[in-house]
Structure 1
Amino acid sequence: MQEELQALQENHTWDIVPCPTGVKPIGCKRVYSIKLRSDGSLDRYKAKLVALGNRQEYGVDYEETFAPVAKMTTVRLVLAIAASQGWPLRQMDVKNAFLHRDLKEEIYMTPPSGLFSTPSADVCKLKRSLYGLKQAPRAWFDKFRSTLISFSFVQSQYDSSLFRCKTSKGIVLLLIYVDDIVITGTDSTLISQLQEHLHQSFHMKDLCPLQYFLGLEVHSTAAGLFLHQHKYTQDLISLAGLQDGRSVDTPLEVNVKYRRDDGNFLSDPSLYRRLVGSLNYLTITRPDISFAFQQVSQFMQTPTHIHLAAVRRIICYLQGTSDRGLFFHVGTSIRLVAYSDADWAGCSDTRRSITGWCMFVGDSLVSWKSKKQDIVSKSSTESEYRAMSSACSEIVWLRGLLGELGFSQAEPTALHADNTSAIQIVANPVFHEHMKHIEVDCHSIRDAYDSHVISLPHISTALQTTDVFTKALSRNRHQFLVDKLMLHNHPTSI
């Protein structure tokens, strides 16, 4: 903590001034944490002084607070491209990131204990965006963005946390998530210059191969890149107390529908909420539990014992597959392919349908969704049509992002669907007139089809990959689709 206080003073984080009349300074507290490596071993002890931003008043102490962070779809897309093209992946970490930006507002903070040897009525007038302040993330991102732009990098129009720089030797990409940075590309000279520029502008940790990023473990093999959350999964199993539990083959039982009022309500739902919240983050690399998570997340407000049993089954499934993750192959094509499906009236309580879709770049799965639709559909065709429209929006976004990165899609993106009627509605203007009761925004899929952004090949229901995102499946069917999603076990078994 003494080192932290010394760093704050050397950074000119505050000025010691008498407290102005009528001003009530915000407090501060010391926060201690233990940083672990991906294998669970000790990395370092960390101490931080945090301002009590919950005491700030909107319009007085702060205004804008939003700061963009990288979308997980963008992270997976960049990793998939890097694996396919054989690009090196590097990571950097910013030390005391929030202290690199000056504050615009006047904020006064009570001095931390130990700052003065004797009691004093003076306060700290903050000059830098200390951790805990409402505006600190936004101030830091603005500073980092301006630093990169001054170094000839361009901010992506499709993800504000992605920056790129094209040269005669190739391209360099940079992704930032708060203070964690991933760098990849083909111009090694520019990467070295970027590293030096960042070191001059901020306190940075040295550039090293990407291994552990936001709880995601990255392993490089000769065959490709393996992305998983093994340590996080083990921590989740321990949280549930199921270390000695028996594993199961599927995350949910087949033909079991969960309702709001099934069973007795839990007297303390806190464990249920913590487990479901943890499952949400695990879906970053585990699309095979997306539908199961979608089901149990509906009951966060008033869960029952039956809902908790469903969550425990998901975790038992994870126990037997804790080393499973996404695999991005070397040499796969950068061609976008999509699949779309819906389970009509799949929700027992509301009779709303379940939308499911997934997107591949070559053989690499980069984006997917399992979500209950907002409106009740009157037919299976209508529910499929809504799912296709949702998938079309993601396709348009991904095509734009790929184009920015230098991988423009010359051909229409194939959106595979197994509902012939829904395909005909999009492709045939006569049938299209029969669906006027659907919201106008759903009909944007027609424009995408006419402008050759998408094509609509029919796929057999037996081969429809998105079944795993819309319903509970038998063991054989579930495993068949998991293999199609390119989910593998640890690289040693590949």
Structure 2
Amino acid sequence: MDVKNAFLHGDLKEDIYMTPPPGLFSTPSGDVCKLKRSLYGLKQAPRAWFDKFRSTLLGFSFVQIQYDSSLFLCKTSKGIVILLVYVDDIVITGTDYALISQLQDYLQRCFHMKDLGSLQYFLGLEVYSSSTGIFLTQHKYIRELIALAGLQDGRSVDTPLEVNVKYRHDEGDLISDPSLYRQLVGSLNYLTITRPDISFAVQQVSQFMQAPRHLHLAAVRRIVRYLKGTSSRGLFFPANSPIRLIAYSNADWTGCSDTRRSVTGWCMFLGTSLVSWKSKKQDRASKSSTESEYRAMSSPCSEIVWLRGLLGELGFPQKGSTPLHADNTSAIQIAANLVFHERTKHIEVDCHSIRESYDAQVISLPHIPTDLQIADVFTKALSKNRHHFLVDKLMLVDQPTSI
């Protein structure tokens, strides 16, 4: 559903005055109008609209999810209804179809709503659903991105980045007009919503936004050429996937040529469905590969705590600890055994929160062989065979024929 003129529904809590719009009516010089409702352009408008929408839903027996303030939930004897709001775009799903119909009628009475039917397109995401599962893609968005880069006739490549190529801030000649580079990188960042296979590559080229060089632009064009050959690819969420959270964590020690900082990569699966991932350069230089792996494990640990809380509120509490797979045995021992404190006494306190989660049995730390470490695709450029092997593990596939 879509809300028409959403911000105009908000109630203002502050006294706000404005000069009369030209041609509205004649007023003495110096007179002003007092606003009774919010207008587009006010800093308060988004908050006022959300407060109005939130209070309306709470009055309809919905509760706001603590772990995600844009998510609302209502449980009945017949099932469950979930509502997600993003500014003025609303997605409703659930198993109590009678309540969904009542909710639609209620919202249309309270606001000016447009019912867009079954979810097929949302914020640039194309959604295909069937009895076998849900498929998310940004195929149309990719075609527009290829046109923006001027590579409609370009040759596709098998991997997003070349192997063993390191990019530096001061290498090569500066681009005279960096606007195209910034447009492409910004678009690629949004594309990572459904294309985790380019997350590391986009993380690399995002570091040069301030002063991009021709070598960096060539790397961006390679990413687009890779997308050209895989434009129909997207994330598939099987309907029969178990509701069991599994995580993988990895790091590339001193992966950044300029700062010698490491790159953190992790991903989370709900059964066989990929639900969360990240590729990010660490904010500190690590003295050893063990330290960089330990730092990398701390970041997904926070995500696990959040996801477990969110799943619990939705009615899917996790039984037992969540496995966080890592391939560095020394880092696992440091997280699980305080005897090793001498190696980590200089590491920030927040990184040690992983020990508390481990002691509380929120997570477990099973070792995984390096060749099976799925998070490897988020930390470095890989060869063609290795890249394709790990991408298959991410449930990143071409659109299934059954959908």
Among 80, 98, 102, the residue aligned to 1:171: 80
Contact 2:15 2:34 in 1 (8 A): no
Once the two structures are TM-superposed, the CA of residue 105 in structure 1 deviates from its matched residue by: 3.0
Secondary structure of the corresponding residue to residue 209 of structure 1: coil
Once the two structures are TM-superposed, the CA of residue 107 in structure 1 deviates from its matched residue by: 3.0
Once the two structures are TM-superposed, the CA of residue 111 in structure 1 deviates from its matched residue by: 2.3
Q: Deviations over 1:297-341 (max 9, x none)?
A: 000001101001100110011111111110000111010000000
Counterpart residue type for residue 347 of structure 1: C
Q: 1:203 to 1:418 in 2, by over 3 A?
A: same
Distance in 1 between residues matched to 2:402 and 2:384, nearest whole Å:
21
Q: 1:207 to 1:312 in 2, by over 3 A?
A: closer
Secondary structure of the corresponding residue to residue 406 of structure 1: coil
Contact 1:101 1:129 in 2 (8 A): yes
Distance in 2 between residues matched to 1:236 and 1:107, nearest whole Å:
43
Distance in 2 between residues matched to 1:207 and 1:231, nearest whole Å:
19
Distance in 2 between residues matched to 1:244 and 1:361, nearest whole Å:
38
1:149 counterpart = 2:40:
no
Among 319, 322, 327, the residue aligned to 1:413: 322
Distance in 2 between residues matched to 1:207 and 1:311, nearest whole Å:
36
Among 231, 252, 262, the residue aligned to 2:171: 262
The equivalent residue for 2:356 is 447
Contact 1:224 1:330 in 2 (8 A): yes
1:105 counterpart = 2:15:
yes
Pairing of 1:304-383 with structure 2 (within 5 A): 304-383=213-292
Counterpart residue type for residue 441 of structure 1: D
Q: How many residues were matched structurally?
A: 401
Contact 2:17 2:32 in 1 (8 A): no
Structure 1: unaligned runs, 5 residues or longer? 1-91
Q: Deviations over 1:406-451 (max 9, x none)?
A: 0000110010000011111112221244311111111111111111
Distance in 2 between residues matched to 1:447 and 1:455, nearest whole Å:
11
The equivalent residue for 2:368 is 459
Distance in 2 between residues matched to 1:460 and 1:268, nearest whole Å:
45
Once the two structures are TM-superposed, the CA of residue 255 in structure 1 deviates from its matched residue by: 0.2
Q: 1:257 to 1:112 in 2, by over 3 A?
A: farther
Among 369, 385, 389, the residue aligned to 2:298: 389
TM-score (structure 1 length as normaliser): 0.79
Secondary structure of the corresponding residue to residue 357 of structure 1: strand
1:290 counterpart = 2:208:
no
Structure 2: unaligned runs, 5 residues or longer? none
Counterpart residue type for residue 180 of structure 2: L
Once the two structures are TM-superposed, the CA of residue 492 in structure 1 deviates from its matched residue by: 2.6
Among 4, 16, 40, the residue aligned to 1:131: 40
1:402 counterpart = 2:311:
yes
1:187 counterpart = 2:96:
yes
Secondary structure of the corresponding residue to residue 258 of structure 2: coil
Counterpart residue type for residue 358 of structure 1: C
Secondary structure of the corresponding residue to residue 444 of structure 1: helix
Once the two structures are TM-superposed, the CA of residue 221 in structure 1 deviates from its matched residue by: 2.7
Counterpart residue type for residue 212 of structure 1: Y
RMSD: 1.7
Once the two structures are TM-superposed, the CA of residue 197 in structure 1 deviates from its matched residue by: 1.2
Q: 1:170 to 1:238 in 2, by over 3 A?
A: same
Stretch moving more, 204-213 or 476-485: 204-213
Secondary structure of the corresponding residue to residue 223 of structure 2: helix
Distance in 2 between residues matched to 1:318 and 1:429, nearest whole Å:
46
